[in-house]
Amino acid sequence: MCEKLGFEVYKRPKYIPDGVKDESEYTYTPPRVIKPRKALVEIYFSQKHNTLTYYNDQFNLSVGDTVFVDGVYEGIPGKVVNLTYTFKIKPSDYKKVVFVADTDVYGELEFAGSHIMSINRYTMPYEKVIGWFKPPVNDEEEIIISAEEYGEKFTLDELNKMKIDPLKAERGHDYYMDNRVVFIEVKDCVGRAIVLGSKPYEVSFKIVGREVSDVMCDCFCAGNCKHVYAVMLQLKETLKLSAENYEDEWDFDYLSIMSKSVFFDHVFSNKTFGRIEIKN
């Protein structure tokens, strides 16, 4: 059993998805595909500062949706800014929308500095959030090799003892200060995180109590990198804020953390109805 990350009393969430009896057993399932509505779609790509038009015949899209396309902007997230349902085209003249992110979020959230956090497994699961930054990849199998007996272990309280080049640590601190660590999830002693650099990078690690081991990043850097260091700094800060502000309410073996700016940009940008409750 994974040692708890938090403190004293567990507060039961008000919202539980249909069919979920034990939230510890919950795994993310993508939403049911709604009947598609064919459209010409104007999509703004903030990374490229450009708006292009694509053909959609797979999804029922709305303005504000985060989508991915094929063609030269493959793998780059874009926002739907306009939809046209009356048109005459040759589909072969247009590239297409190939994936739409699931940005619906339900459940209780707490503020933690520059980020928000949840102890509910169904509110912001990693499997959902990673689709906000990159589409599913099926073309090349990943190779993951973990030699735990040779791996480094360190604690969040002694990050200065991490084996990392000082320049990489300095860059990692810059990433942390710039809020480039946009998401962290810790579930069943396994942590996963998303860091925005030249592209979204995925960091994984094991954590028992405050001891971290088996750290990996999908960047090209060997050993601990700036992305890893930034993630550790952000996780340490959030746990500290949790201890200071929620010690009478929190006791958890699951935690998800998201940048406030990313949350508001993706979750609220296309919502025309819903409800939010803010409590002191």
Q: Are 185 and 138 contained in the same domain?
A: yes
Provide the residue range defining the domain that includes 70.
39-100
Residue 239 included in any domain: yes
Give strand pairing partners of 259.
115
Q: Is 9 helix (H, G, I), strand (E, B) or coil?
A: coil
Q: Total domain count for the chain?
A: 2
Q: Which of 100, 130, 145 is the last residue of a domain?
A: 100
Q: Are 85 and 172 contained in the same domain?
A: no
Q: Are 256 and 117 contained in the same domain?
A: yes
Q: Are 142 and 191 contained in the same domain?
A: yes
CA 7/CA 69 separation, integer angstroms: 44
Residue 185 included in any domain: yes
Q: Are 46 and 167 contained in the same domain?
A: no
CB atoms within 10 A of CB 171: 17
Q: Does residue 122 contact residue 129 with C-beta atoms inside 8 Å?
A: no
Q: Are 256 and 138 contained in the same domain?
A: yes
pLDDT confidence of residue 12: 40
Q: Read off the amino acid at residue 196.
A: L
Residue 66 included in any domain: yes
pLDDT < 50 positions in the chain: 1, 7-14
Pairing of strands 153-155, 39-45: unpaired
pLDDT confidence of residue 276: 75
Q: Are 62 and 122 contained in the same domain?
A: no
Q: Are 46 and 170 contained in the same domain?
A: no
pLDDT confidence of residue 57: 96
pLDDT confidence of residue 17: 63
| Chain centre distance of CA 17 | 20
Q: Are 132 and 234 contained in the same domain?
A: yes
pLDDT confidence of residue 42: 98
Residue 160 included in any domain: yes
pLDDT confidence of residue 8: 41
Q: Which two tokens stand for residue 67?
A: 């989508």
Q: Are 120 and 244 contained in the same domain?
A: yes
Q: Classify residue 94 as exposed, middle or buried by CB count within 10 Å of its CB (0-12, 13-18, 19+).
A: middle
What predicted TM-score, i.e. pTM, was given to this entire model?
0.87
pLDDT confidence of residue 133: 96
Q: Classify residue 139 as exposed, middle or buried by CB count within 10 Å of its CB (0-12, 13-18, 19+).
A: exposed
CA 121/CA 100 separation, integer angstroms: 22
Q: Are 81 and 178 contained in the same domain?
A: no
CA 81/CA 100 separation, integer angstroms: 14
Residue 190 included in any domain: yes
Q: Are 134 and 88 contained in the same domain?
A: no
